[in-house]
Chains A and B, each alone.
Chain A
Amino acid sequence: MNRIPTTRLVVKREVAERLRSRLIWVMTALTTVFVVAIIVIPAVVRQPAKPTVVGLVGSSAQALGPALRTTAKAAKVDIRVVNVANSAMARSEVKNGSLDIALSVGSDSAVAEVKQTLSPAMAALLEATVDKGHQRRVLGEAGVPLSTVLAASAPVPFSTTALEPPPSDRAARDIAALAAGFLLYLSLGLYAAAVANSVAQEKTSRTAEVLLAAVRPSQLLNGKVLGIGVCGLGQLGIAVTAGLIANAAVQRAEIPSTIWLLLPAILLWFVLGFALYSFANAAAGAMVARQEEVQFVTLPIGMPLIVGFLLTYGAIASPDAWWIRVLSFLPPLAPILMPARLAFGHAAAWEMPVAVLIMVASVYGMARLAARIYAGAIVRGGARLSWSTALRLRGE
C-alpha cells in the first residue's frame, strides 16, 4: 500500500480544488496586470521635461538674453529664450501656449506675463537677471568701465554639498515600497481570508466531522494552511516574475538598486505573514456557526494589515523615524513595513534577521494557539463561540 502522508493529502486537495476554481485564475491575472501596469504605465506615459520658453519683448528685454541664459544655466533651470517684436504678439503667444513667459523691461520696471502662474524659482531667476541688467546700466551711466561692470556681475561659482544625500533612485524606491506594501496587503488579506472561509465551510457543512474520523485536527489545519499558502505564493511568484520581465522589456532607468533584495523579501514576508494571519483566521473560522459570520470574526484580525499598509505612506515621508523602525518589528505589521523599509534602503543589516526571528517565534506561538482553538471548536455545534470560550475548550 503506497500511503501518502495525511497532511500532504490535505495540501494536495486544497491546491487541486483551488486551481479548479476560476476565481484563482482571475485573481492571478488581476495581480499580475497590477504589477506589470505600475512598471509599464509610467514608462509609457512619461514625457521628457520641456524647457520653459521665455519671450523677451522689445530691445531692453532682448539685451538681457545672454545674461538670462547664463543665470539659468548656473541655476540649472532649463529655459529657451526667444525674441518677440511687441507686447500684443507676446500676449497672444502666451495665451496659445507657444510662450510660457513674456518678459518686458522698461526704464524703471519689468513685467512678466504668464498664462496662469509663475513658479517661485522662475520668478527669482527673472528678477535676478532684470536686477543685474539694471545694475549694469546704472553703473555704465556712472562711468564705470565696462570690464569692471562685467566682472562685478559675473556669477560667482556656487555649489552645494549634501552631508546625507538622498539616493539618486529615491522616487523609484518610494514606488517600489508602495507597490510591495500593496501587493503584500492584497495577497495576505485575500489568502488569510481564504483560510478562514475554507475552515468555516468544512465546519458548517459538517465535512470536518467526517474528516476528523480519519485525520487529526492538527493535520487538517496544517494541511489547509500549507495548501492555500502554496497557491498564494505561486500567485505572488507569477506576479513578481511578470513584473521583472516587464521591467526588462521597458528598460526603465528607475529600477531601484534595492530590487534584488526586495523581491525575495516580498516572498519571504508573504510566507511569514501568511502563516501568522492564516493560523489566526483558521481559529476564528472554526468558531463560527454560520458561513456569514466569517467576515465579522476575522475583521479585527485583518485590521493590522490595513494599518501596516497605511503606515507605508508614513514610512515614505520619514523612513528614518524611530516609530517606523519600532513598528516594523511588530509581527502583525512587519510583513508590510519591513519590505517597505528594505525598498527604501533604510533597514540596517541586522534588522531584517532580527525581525524574521521575532516573526518566526510569533508564528510558532500563533500556530499552537490556533491548533488548540481549532481542535476544540471545529466539531462543536451550536452558536458562534467567543474567544474566551474557544480557549477553554479541550483540544485533540
Chain B
Amino acid sequence: MLEVSDLFHRFGERVAIDGLTFQVGTGEIVGLVGRNGAGKTTTMRAVMGILRPERGDITRSGHAIGPTDRLRFGYMPEERGLYPQMRILDQLAYFGQLHGLDPITAKAEARSWLLRLGLDGRELDKVVALSHGNQQRVQLAVALVHHPELLVLDEPFAGLDPAAVDALSDILRAEAQRGTAILFSSHQLELVERLCDRIIIIEEGRVLASGTLGELRAHFPQQLRVKVDASTEWAAQLYGHGSFARTQTAWCFSWSPARTPRRS
C-alpha cells in the first residue's frame, strides 16, 4: 500500500531522515517508534506531502504519490490543528468534502463519527468549547471522516485517559480490519506492542530495526544501551565491552546484560 524508499531530508545542516525505507501493507498497523527528534514527524509529514524531502521515493502500490492519492489518506498531526471557532459538525463535513465526499455524504459521515466517538449532541458546539480529550477525538474524526485507505497518525494517544486510549485502539483495529493501512507513532511502547502488526524503530533518521514484535525479540536479544557525552572521561574505559559506536557528540555502547561491564 505505502512504500517509502531511501528518504532523506535535512533542516539546515541537521540530517532529520537519512535513507529511511519501509512499507505499510493494506490492513496493517505499523508503529513508528523512536525518541524525540528521531525523525518520526518528518517522515509522516513527507508521506502526507506537507514536507518535500530532498531525496527518496514515496509510492502507493508502485506509483509516485500525488495530490489525488493523498485525498484517500487521513492525517492526524502531532500538534493538533482545528478551526477553534468553527462548529464541530461543519468542521468535519468540511474536511470530508476536501477529501472528496459530496456535501450530503460528508455531513452524514460526520454525524456518524461524532456518534461513534461519543460526541453526539455536541455537533453545534465550537471546537474551542471542548475539553482537550474531546478536541483530540474531533481531530481523529477529521482523519477518519472520509474512510481513508491510509491513516497517518502522529502521537494519536498523547494526552488521552486510559478509557479514551482503549476506545481509540478499538477504532484503529476496526479500521485496519476494514482494510485501512495505519502508520502511527507513539512513545507508549506497551501500546505499540499491543496494537501493532509491525514495529519500525528509528533513530537519527535511520531504521534501527523493523519487524513484528516476535521477529524483533528473536533477532535482537535483550540489550542494554548506554549513550554518554563524548567528553565524559570514564566512558573511554568502556571501550572493548560490547558493540561500540561514536557520533560527533556521544559514545554509544550496547551489550547483552550477561556481559555487563563493571564500572571501575
Contact = CB atoms under 8 A, between A and B. Distances in A.
Interface of A: 1-4, 6, 9, 13, 16-17, 202, 205-216, 379, 394, 396
Contacts of A4: 97, 102-103
- Interface secondary structure of B, over-half rule: loop
B101 A1 contact: yes
16 contacts: A1-B105, A3-B100, A9-B97, A13-B94, A205-B84, A206-B80, A209-B45, A209-B77, A210-B82, A210-B139, A210-B142, A211-B81, A211-B98, A213-B73, A213-B75, A214-B99
Given A1-B101, A16-B90, A207-B82, 12 more contacts: A1-B105, A2-B102, A206-B81, A212-B49, A213-B48, A213-B73, A213-B75, A214-B70, A214-B95, A214-B99, A216-B67, A379-B51
Interface in B139-168: 139, 142
B98 A214 contact: yes
Contact of B70 (A1, A2, A9, A213): A213
A204 to B, nearest CB: 10
A279 B49 CA distance: 23
A98 B139 CA distance: 79
A17 B85 contact: yes
B135 to A, nearest CB: 11
Nearest to A212: B50
A394 B95 CA distance: 26
Interface string B56-83: 0000000000010011010111011111
B98 A6 contact: yes
Nearest to A376: B52
Contacts of B90: 16
A197 B254 CA distance: 51
Given A3-B102, A4-B103, A379-B51, A209 B81 contact: yes
B86 interface: yes
- Interchain residue pairs A-B with the least CB separation, the first 9: A206-B81, A2-B102, A213-B75, A207-B81, A210-B81, A213-B48, A206-B79, A214-B98, A209-B77
Contacts of B67: 216
Contacts of B45: 209, 379
B260 to A, nearest CB: 41
A267 to B, nearest CB: 29
A371 B163 CA distance: 44
Contacts of A16: 90
Contacts of A212: 48-50
A205 B139 CA distance: 13
Contacts of B94: 9, 13
Contacts of B77: 206, 209-210
Contacts of B103: 2, 4
Nearest to A395: B52
Contacts of B100: 1, 3
B240 to A, nearest CB: 42
B130 to A, nearest CB: 14
B101 A208 contact: no
A17 B49 contact: no
A215 B81 CA distance: 14
B151 to A, nearest CB: 11
A20 to B, nearest CB: 9
Nearest to A382: B11
A215 B99 CA distance: 8
Nearest to B49: A213
A214 B71 contact: yes
Contacts of A205: 81-84
Contacts of B50: 209, 212-213, 379
B155 to A, nearest CB: 13
A394 B52 CA distance: 9
Contacts of A2: 102-103
Contacts of A207: 81-83
A9 B90 CA distance: 12
Interface in B30-64: 45, 48-52
Contacts of B102: 1-4
A13 B45 CA distance: 25
B254 to A, nearest CB: 33
A16 B75 CA distance: 25
A291 to B, nearest CB: 11
B110 to A, nearest CB: 14
B116 to A, nearest CB: 20
Nearest to B154: A209
A395 B81 CA distance: 21
A208 B81 CA distance: 7
A144 B76 CA distance: 111
In this complex, the member of A6, A209, A214 whose beta carbon has the largest number of chain B beta carbons within 10 angstroms is: A214
A207 B77 CA distance: 9
Nearest to A378: B50
A125 B171 CA distance: 97
A205 B126 CA distance: 14
A214 B102 CA distance: 15
Contacts of B48: 212-213
In this complex, the member of A17, A205, A215 whose beta carbon has the largest number of chain B beta carbons within 10 angstroms is: A205
Contacts of A216: 67
Contacts of A210: 75-77, 81-82, 95, 139, 142
A289 B77 CA distance: 18
A10 to B, nearest CB: 8
Nearest to B100: A3
Contacts of A209: 45, 50, 77, 79, 81
A2 B103 CA distance: 8
B29 to A, nearest CB: 20
A275 to B, nearest CB: 24
B79 A9 contact: no
In this complex, the member of B94, B98, B139 whose beta carbon has the largest number of chain A beta carbons within 10 angstroms is: B98
B81 A9 contact: no
Nearest to A13: B94
